[in-house]
Amino acid sequence: ETGKADRVGFRFEDGKKVRFFKSTGKTI
């Protein structure tokens, strides 16, 4: 979204692995 490469993290929500942008916290 920002045009630069965002670092992406993984976390588990409701037993599912969810990817999110570490810079914004938005889930993908």
Q: What is the pLDDT of residues 1-28, one digit of tens each?
A: 566 667 889 999 999 999 998 888 898 8
pLDDT for the residue numbered 25:
84
Query: Most distant CA pair in the chain: distance in Å?
Result: 31
pLDDT for the residue numbered 16:
95
Domain span including residue 20 = 1-28
Mean pLDDT taken over the chain: 84
pLDDT for the residue numbered 24:
85
- The total of structural domains in the chain comes to 1
Q: Residue 10 half-sphere exposure, CB side, CA atoms within 13 Å? A: 3
pLDDT for the residue numbered 28:
84
In this prediction the pTM is 0.53
Instruction: Count Cβ atoms below 10 Å from residue 9 Cβ, excluding itself.
Output: 12
